[in-house]
Amino acid sequence: MTLGIALAATNADNYVDAIVDQARVVHELGVGSVWFGQRMDYDSPALAGIVGREVPGLQVGTSAIPVVGRHPLIVAAQAQTAQAATHGRYHLGVALGSALVAGAFGAPFDRPIARLREFLTAITQLLDTGTAEFHGELLAAAPPWPTALPGAQPRTPVLVAAMGPQALRVTGELADGILPFLAGPKGLAGTIVPAITRASARTPRVVAFVPAVVTADVDAARAQALERLAFYEQIPSYRRVIDLEGASRAGELALIGDEETVAAGIRRYYEAGATEVVLVSTDLTGPADEHRTWSLAGELAAQHTTVSASADPARN
C-alpha cells in the first residue's frame, strides 16, 4: 500500500522551511511520499527538490503543473534538476490547466487536448533522449544543445491529472500514469481505470488524490470539506467525476471519521484500481487531527510492508 500526503503550510514565516519540517515529520511517521500542488507563489519542482534533498529516502512529487503557459523545455529542465537533487525520487505531474490559469499568463485556453498531446510528445523526447526535434501546431521543441542532465536518473516519470476520456487516451499513449482528484471508487473502477488501462501499452500508475482527515469532530470536518472543495464543483472535469460517484458536492467525497473509517475508505480506492493513494486536505480540523491522519497513513504503509515481506518467499 503506497501512501502519500499532499503538504501545504498555513501562517508560515518561511513557507519552504515549514514544508521541510512537515516532510520530516511525515517521513518519521512512515509515510513514503509527499506531493506539492503548483501554485502562483512557489515553484513546485524546486520545492520538491529541496524537500527530497533535505529528507533522504522520501519520494517527492508535483501534482500538477498546468501545461498551459509552460514550455516542455523549461519543465523538463525543472524536472531533471529535481530528479538529480533527490537522486531519483522525483515524480513529475502535469495537468491541462484551465481558462483561469491561462488568463494569468495572458494565454488562450483553446484546444487543451491537442496542447497536452504536443506537450507530452515533446517532454517525452527530452526526457528519453536528451534532445528533441518536435514541431507541432501549438508548440515546438528543438533545443540547439543537449538537454540531458548528469545525475537525473532514472528517467523522471511523467503523470497527468487526466480524468476525461480524451485526456486519458492521450495520457495512456504518452505518459506513465494518472493523478485523479475527486474521482471516487465508483468512478475509478467503472470508468477511469478501464480507460487508462486500455490506452496504455504497460500497466499505468493510478495515483488517486483523496481528501481525508481522522477526527472526532466529523460535522466540523465535513463542513470545512464542503466549503473548501466547492470551487471544483464548477469545473467540468471535476463535476463529471463527482457525478460519477453519485455525489452532489465535492466535499461529500472526503474521508472523515476515526482511524477505522478512514482506513476502510482508503482501501476502497485500492480495490477500485488505484496503485497509490495521496491524502489531501488533511488539515481540515487543525494540527492535532492532521498529525493523527499522517500517523494513520504511516501505520497503513507499515502494515502493507510487513504483509508484503511475509508473503515474499525470497525474504523467508
Q: Are 122 and 72 in contact (CB under 8 A)?
A: yes
Classify 101 as helix, strand or coil. Answer: helix
Residue 86 has phi, psi (to 5 degrees) of -100, 0
Classify 296 as helix, strand or coil. Answer: helix
> Residue 156 to residues 83, 124, 226: CA-CA distances in angstroms?
7, 10, 35
Q: How far is CA 212 from the centre of its chain?
A: 15
Q: What's 40's DSSP letter?
A: S
Q: Are 50 and 16 in contact (CB under 8 A)?
A: yes
Q: Which of 185, 181, 163 is nearest to 172 (CA)?
A: 163
Q: What's 47's DSSP letter?
A: H
Query: Residue 66 burial (CB < 10 Å; 0-12/13-18/19+)?
Result: buried
> Rounded to 5 degrees, what angle do the CA atoms 203, 38, 149 make?
65
Q: Where are the beta strands (DSSP E) in the chain?
A: 2-6, 33-36, 59-62, 65-66, 90-95, 134-135, 140-141, 158-160, 177-178, 205-214, 255-257, 276-280
Q: Are 94 and 161 in contact (CB under 8 A)?
A: yes
pLDDT tens digits, the chain, 316 residues: what are they? 589 999 999 999 999 999 999 999 999 999 999 999 999 999 999 999 999 999 999 999 999 999 999 999 999 999 999 999 999 999 999 999 888 888 898 988 899 999 999 999 999 999 999 999 999 999 999 999 999 999 999 999 999 999 999 999 999 999 999 999 999 999 999 999 999 999 999 999 999 999 999 999 999 999 999 999 999 999 888 999 999 999 999 999 999 999 999 999 999 999 999 999 999 999 999 999 999 999 999 999 998 765 454 455 555 5
User: What pTM did the predictor assign?
Assistant: 0.94
